[in-house]
Structure 1
Amino acid sequence: MPESPIRKLVPYAEQAAKDGKFIYYLNIGQPDIKTPEAALKAVRENDVEILSYSKSEGSGAYRKKLANYFKIHDIDVDSKDIVVTTGASEALLFVFGSIMDPDDEVIISEPFYANYIAFSTASGVKVVPIVSKIEDNFALPSIEAFEKLITPKTKAILICNPGNPTGNLYSKEEIQKLTAIVKKHDLFLIADEVYREFVYDGETHYSIMQEKEIEDHAIMIDSVSKRYSMCGARVGCLVSKNKSVIQTVIKFAQARLSPPTYAQIASEAALDTPRSYFDEVIAEYIGRRDTLISELNKIEGIKVSNPKGAFYCVVELPVKNSDHFAQWLLEEFDVNGETVMVAPAGGFYSTPGLGLNQIRIAYVLKKESLIKAVNILKEALKVYKD
């Protein structure tokens, strides 16, 4: 099981904090946006007397309300097409276990969310990477590149849209290209769409569930973690019109009994969050992104991706090993008692040697903090030696 590139440096950060350093945490996608009050109030003021199991596939009331939420986003599904899970992580584990056997293959465009490797390892599934490049802003690789990787063991293509760690947003045309591939080769298309709400620059999010011709091939993953700033709730879901997939997933769900009851109560209440909440949050993230990119572009010798969604960007640094650089920042460097924590990007690739000079930055801090954090990076690169 691989270490998390996001969390493995935590002991060094804890020691730095003990030594009196102030740390700007750019390493993890934990929003500082307030959780909707309705969700917190639903837990505080509920009249539950016995904290019992819910149904294995999740509360019927919550799934029905989720289906209505998806319809607002032009995703026409029924509550029976939804299985509630303990975070999107469990949803992906259930999907891998349901549609793939040990030694089967899933094609993923890299860099990708680091835990995809962990989930595939836990399921005995082989990740087959297809490289996207920072020079192309991590756009979808060509159809020909995908088809060269398809073997009799290939069972699925997995995408994250908008992307973690890249912030890339796949267009409707790119989704339709993937639709053609999975239909032609009889594969599943799995889309991790947990950042659906966070799309910028007048772009719109296009879901794989909007492609009617691949209803039996499409599996969508979702979560409340980022949308409502409820990472600790650990409530996600998977959505598919494929009845066989849902029936199999429910067997996995039954084995773990049920998703958390209180968190489902909070998540159901969060669905009443007004659109104005997201308008404000998106405006805040656009401002943070623009500030971050502007400040980073002032540093000589780096490359920065231009995210169109989510709240991450990948930065290529003039260093040989970003793992060492990230640890050095915490152990040996500070500016007036302040330093930064970043996520080395090598852990977001499965191809050995790729991403070793890159980091992922989560712009989940206020603009003033981002400016200070980038200045620390700038000063650090002046003195750092590989």
Structure 2
Amino acid sequence: MKYSKRVSSMQSSPIRKLASFEESAKKGGVKVYHLNIGQPDIKTPKAFFKAINDFDKQVLEYCSSSGLDDLINSMQKYYNTYNIKFSKDELLVTNGGSEALLFALMAICDPDDNVLVPEPFYTNYFGFGQSINVKINPITTKAENGFHLPSKEDIISKINHNTKAIMISNPSNPSGTVYTYNEIKMLSEIALEYNLWIISDEVYREFVYDNQEYTSFGNIPEIYDRVIIIDSISKRYSACGARIGSIASKNKGFIAQVLKLCQGRLCVSTLDQVGAAKLYETPISYFKEVIAEYEKRRNVLYDELMKVDGVVCEKPSGAFYILAKLPIDDAEDFAIWMLEEFSKNNETVMICPAQGFYATEKLGKNEIRLAYILNEKDLITAAKLLKEGLEEYLSSKIKSFNYKNDELTLN
């Protein structure tokens, strides 16, 4: 039996592709510290579970395709705290941020259209695009300058007649970059000049460190009609399993088109929406504690990583990821080696090779993404294991190289 070209051409998740090596390590009695995936260990606020436990209906019915009124009201109040005003008919509840991203692309792009995306980017952008025959048109950024955007001229040079949008995550997954006000303004100007949409993935909005300022595209009045904000409770409230996301846009025509897609999948889980409505009422003190915790974790991991000669990485200022260039040829080989060959006291670390976060061939081959989502004690252990593992891996490669050269000399 044959499969569609659409699904056959899709890449497997680069974040999850090393799962079999992880399972083998664990079966061998090795404890694996996970720095490869953005699953926080921060406790989900109790209000979520209480709201579900208090839900008292005889029948669990379909709800509106656009979302529960209580949840949409809570979202409106939340955005108001950022001085972003959305009316009820400018918000849609989705099955996580993933569905929001997919629906946004489906609503504005036809097959063979493309969207500009700074690379490295959230790897599922590529998968979502492939599934609907929309191409990712990469804007390459570099570790040496903290993965900030290139010049306006460089970005404009990427635009062609099939370009429909600029898609960006801010703060960035995977780099942790928080884009400056000037960068946001530059992209806004490009969108206006070339009649492009902006899909702004803002799921890490709260996670900004070092007192750095954060600018949402929702705060740029000139582009209100073309901004699509993607959001999610997954990381903000450490509720990844709830699968509640949203699309927000002041372009009511766009919202009306996406609502057709929402109607096609009927509705989002009613119970999860009931819990999510209460999450949006979480006090600001929760975020102060969580941000302080992540900032501390970032410093632990970054400081340990930078003790290794040849590592290139600017300290990230947002989200909870570090993207680092290592003095190696193949990050995937190193990741597998850490799981198969390396352990100290029966412990090792699982990392995520970064090549899958790029659309440009061969880029990211010597880079890794790390998620600092472990508690401080475990993170300190994991960071030291990673440093020792990298040093041992580099040493083994040098020995292997010298051995091969000796063999060639003897022959």
Equivalent pair of 1:313/1:361 in contact (CA under 8 Å): yes
**CA distance in structure 2 between the aligned counterparts of 1:243 and 1:335, rounded to whole angstroms:** 57
User: Corresponding residue for 1:193?
Assistant: 202
Q: What CA deviation, in whole Å up to 9, does each residue of 1:233-292 have, x standing for no partner?
A: 000001111112101101111111111111101100111111111000000011111111
Where in structure 2 are there 5+ consecutive unaligned residues? 1-9, 398-411
3-state SS of the aligned residue for 1:215?
helix
Decide which moves more: 150-159 or 198-207: 198-207
C-alpha RMSD of the superposition = 1.0
Q: How far has the Cα of 1:328 moved from its partner?
A: 1.6
Equivalent pair of 1:316/1:358 in contact (CA under 8 Å): yes
User: Corresponding residue for 1:27?
Assistant: 36
User: Corresponding residue for 2:237?
Assistant: 228
Decide which moves more: 318-327 or 338-347: 318-327
3-state SS of the aligned residue for 2:188?
helix
User: Corresponding residue for 2:401?
Assistant: none
User: Corresponding residue for 2:65?
Assistant: 56
3-state SS of the aligned residue for 1:144?
helix
Equivalent pair of 2:308/2:391 in contact (CA under 8 Å): no
**CA distance in structure 2 between the aligned counterparts of 1:355 and 1:64, rounded to whole angstroms:** 42
**CA distance in structure 2 between the aligned counterparts of 1:166 and 1:344, rounded to whole angstroms:** 13
User: Corresponding residue for 1:75?
Assistant: 84
TM-score of the aligned structures, taking structure 1 as reference length? 0.98
Q: Cα distance 1:125–1:44, how it changes in 2: closer, same or farther (>3 A)? A: same
Is 1:172 matched up with 2:181? yes
**CA distance in structure 1 between the aligned counterparts of 2:237 and 2:104, rounded to whole angstroms:** 24
User: Corresponding residue for 2:376?
Assistant: 367
Task: Number of aligned residue pairs: give it.
Answer: 386
1:262 corresponds, among 243, 251, 271, to 271
Decide which moves more: 101-110 or 2-11: 2-11
User: Corresponding residue for 1:124?
Assistant: 133
Is 1:244 matched up with 2:262? no
Q: What CA deviation, in whole Å up to 9, does each residue of 1:202-238 have, x standing for no partner?
A: 1222110111111111000000000000000000001
Q: How far has the Cα of 1:168 moved from its partner?
A: 0.3
User: Corresponding residue for 2:21?
Assistant: 12
Where in structure 1 are there 5+ consecutive unaligned residues? none
Equivalent pair of 2:300/2:383 in contact (CA under 8 Å): no
What amino acid is aligned across from residue 163 of structure 1 in structure 2?
Answer: S
3-state SS of the aligned residue for 2:225?
coil
1:301 corresponds, among 306, 310, 313, to 310
Equivalent pair of 1:66/1:79 in contact (CA under 8 Å): no
**CA distance in structure 1 between the aligned counterparts of 2:55 and 2:154, rounded to whole angstroms:** 53
**CA distance in structure 2 between the aligned counterparts of 1:186 and 1:382, rounded to whole angstroms:** 49
User: Corresponding residue for 1:149?
Assistant: 158
3-state SS of the aligned residue for 1:303?
coil
What amino acid is aligned across from residue 98 of structure 1 in structure 2?
Answer: A
1:136 corresponds, among 131, 135, 145, to 145
What amino acid is aligned across from residue 4 of structure 1 in structure 2?
Answer: S
Decide which moves more: 222-231 or 241-250: 241-250
Equivalent pair of 1:166/1:305 in contact (CA under 8 Å): no
User: Corresponding residue for 1:325?
Assistant: 334
3-state SS of the aligned residue for 2:117?
strand
What amino acid is aligned across from residue 313 of structure 1 in structure 2?
Answer: I
Equivalent pair of 1:289/1:311 in contact (CA under 8 Å): yes
What amino acid is aligned across from residue 280 of structure 2 in structure 1?
Answer: L
Q: Which runs of 4+ in 1 moved over 3 A?
A: none
TM-score of the aligned structures, taking structure 2 as reference length? 0.92
Is 1:340 matched up with 2:349? yes
User: Corresponding residue for 1:96?
Assistant: 105
Equivalent pair of 2:304/2:387 in contact (CA under 8 Å): no
Equivalent pair of 1:64/1:78 in contact (CA under 8 Å): no
- Percent identity reads 47
What amino acid is aligned across from residue 229 of structure 1 in structure 2?
Answer: S
Q: How far has the Cα of 1:161 moved from its partner?
A: 0.2
3-state SS of the aligned residue for 2:258?
helix
Highest Rg: 1 or 2?
2
Is 1:310 matched up with 2:319? yes
